[in-house]
């Protein structure tokens, strides 16, 4: 992959100029990775008009040297933010931006204590996330690989989805196979929810055993070369009764409507509305308990959010999930989730696992 960091830093600097700030302190690890290539779990990145400095502690010296080329390294003994504050004091910055969504009150106090008291702090909401939402071709290629791995894992565990197996056992099997396939880990705790538990959109797997004539929701995500996939399929153990088939069809049609609505230039809320309209036609809209989808990339939940009323405009380079679902308390739930990349003139569904109702 060509090193994209210089261009990304330039874009951040442009945002800084607009906000009137001279420098930006970045502490959120995915943002640090995006802007410098450093993938350690602790660090601070200071972006100034003529330089980028990565503050790390001694544990990361070798890794930072290997991963970053465009940032100056500052290896600190004590607190990273104290070192950042000292640097800001010496460079006599007047207006410095930080990301309030990622900085605790304690961290900000520490920065203020060390840096010059005259510094004006500018709160920038998600400047790096805005850039991250628009993926380059290399990033989408990477996400295609992650999606392929997710689908392979799903197909490999399918033969194990049968009465008698415990939800936790299946979840463990899924995560094990992701790692075997090269993933650095799961993008989120794998969901295996069977029977009435499938009615909980974020169910944690339990020791419950799968039984015949139950719905099973499997929601899994792998992180491959830093990028996430997010895939959900719902299967039925046995022959599905007509009521369940109807719900399943409603979810499929809702997802297809969202996919048809998704394109560069449309408002995110319109995509959500498209799915909701279909579920309403099936009188299932009040059983749809979450938004239609979310951006996906270095993190599993990113911009843009495909939620009710969202005015943000979908752009070429966005990668989003489409995941309508219906959840009927006491009975079960159905969700179908795919990852879709948006281009200027088309979309591409990255996940290829079968979408027809699987009766196992
Ligand atoms: Zn998911
Ligand atoms: Zn999702």
Q: How far is the CA of 323 from the centre of ligand 2 (A)?
A: 7
pLDDT digits (tens, 9 = 90+) for 200-238: 998 999 999 999 999 999 999 999 999 999 999 999 999
Measure the CA–CA gap between 51 and 87, rounded to whole angstroms.
12
- Residue 323 has a CB neighbour count (10 Å cut-off) of 26
What tokens appear for 223 in the block?
Answer: 């992180």
Q: Give me the residues paired with residue 23 across strands.
A: 96
Measure the CA–CA gap between 125 and 101, rounded to whole angstroms.
7
Q: How far is the CA of 81 from the centre of ligand 1 (A)?
A: 35
Adjacency order of strands within the sheet including 319-322: 302-306, 293-295, 319-322, 338-342, 347-349
Total-model pTM = 0.95
The pLDDT confidence band at residue 2, using thresholds 50, 70 and 90, is low
Answer positive or negative: Cα dihedral of 336, 338, 343, 346.
Answer: negative
Give the ligand whose atoms come closest to the C-alpha of residue 219: 1
Put residue 273 in one of left, alpha, beta given phi > 0 → left and psi -120 to 50 → alpha: alpha
For every residue of 115-171, DSSP letters joined together read S-TTPEEEE-SSHHHHHHTS--HHHHHHHHHHHHHHHHHHHHHGGG-STT-BHHHHH
pLDDT of residue 140: 98
Measure the CA–CA gap between 234 and 204, rounded to whole angstroms.
15
Please give the C-alpha separations between residue 312 and each of 307, 338, 352, in angstroms, as whole numbers. Answer: 10, 21, 27
pLDDT of residue 3: 81
Cα dihedral: 106, 108, 110, 111 (round 10): 170
Q: How far is the CA of 340 from the centre of ligand 2 (A)?
A: 11
The pLDDT confidence band at residue 242, using thresholds 50, 70 and 90, is very high
pLDDT digits (tens, 9 = 90+) for 284-326: 999 999 999 999 999 999 999 999 999 999 999 999 999 999 9
Q: Are 199 and 288 in contact (CB under 8 A)?
A: no
Neighbours of ion ligand 2 (CB under 5 A): 230, 321
pLDDT digits (tens, 9 = 90+) for 248-295: 999 999 999 999 999 999 999 999 999 999 999 999 999 999 999 999
pLDDT digits (tens, 9 = 90+) for 99-111: 999 999 999 999 9
Q: How far is the CA of 322 from the centre of ligand 2 (A)?
A: 8
**Mean pLDDT confidence for 184-188:** 97
């Amino acid at each position: 992959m060509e090193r994209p960091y210089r261009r990304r830093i330039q874009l951040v600097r442009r945002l800084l100029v607009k906000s009137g700030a001279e420098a930006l302190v970045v502490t959120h690890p995915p943002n640090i990775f995006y802007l410098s290539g450093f993938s350690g779990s602790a660090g601070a990145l200071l972006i100034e008009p003529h330089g980028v400095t990565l503050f790390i502690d001694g544990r990361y010296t070798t890794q930072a040297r290997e991963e970053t080329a465009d940032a100056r390294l500052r290896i600190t003994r004590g607190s990273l933010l104290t070192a950042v504050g000292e640097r800001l004091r010496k460079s006599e910055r007047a207006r410095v931006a930080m990301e309030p969504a990622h900085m605790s009150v304690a961290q900000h106090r520490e920065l203020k204590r060390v840096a010059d008291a005259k510094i004006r702090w500018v709160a920038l909401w998600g400047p790096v996330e805005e850039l991250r939402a628009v993926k380059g071709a290399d990033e989408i290629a990477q996400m295609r690989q992650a999606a392929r791995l997710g689908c392979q894992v799903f197909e490999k565990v399918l033969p194990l989805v049968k009465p008698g197996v415990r939800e936790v056992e299946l979840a463990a099997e899924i995560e094990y196979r992701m790692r075997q396939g090269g993933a650095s880990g799961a993008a989120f705790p794998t969901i295996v929810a069977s029977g009435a538990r499938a009615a909980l959109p974020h169910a944690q797997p339990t020791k419950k055993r799968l039984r015949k004539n139950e719905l099973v929701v499997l929601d899994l995500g792998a992180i491959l070369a830093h990028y996430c996939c997010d895939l959900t399929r719902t299967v039925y153990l046995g022959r599905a009764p007509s009521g369940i088939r109807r719900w399943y069809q409603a979810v499929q049609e809702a997802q297809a409507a969202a996919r048809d609505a998704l394109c560069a230039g449309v408002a995110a809320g319109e995509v959500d509305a498209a799915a909701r309209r279909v579920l309403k036609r099936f009188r299932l809209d009040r059983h749809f308990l979450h938004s239609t989808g979310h951006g996906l990339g270095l993190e599993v939940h990113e911009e843009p959010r495909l939620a009710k009323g969202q005015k943000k405009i979908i752009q070429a380079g966005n990668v989003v999930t489409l995941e309508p679902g219906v959840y009927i308390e006491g009975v079960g739930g159905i969700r179908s989730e795919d990852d879709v990349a948006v281009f200027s003139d088309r979309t591409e569904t990255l996940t290829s696992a079968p979408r027809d109702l699987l009766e196992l």
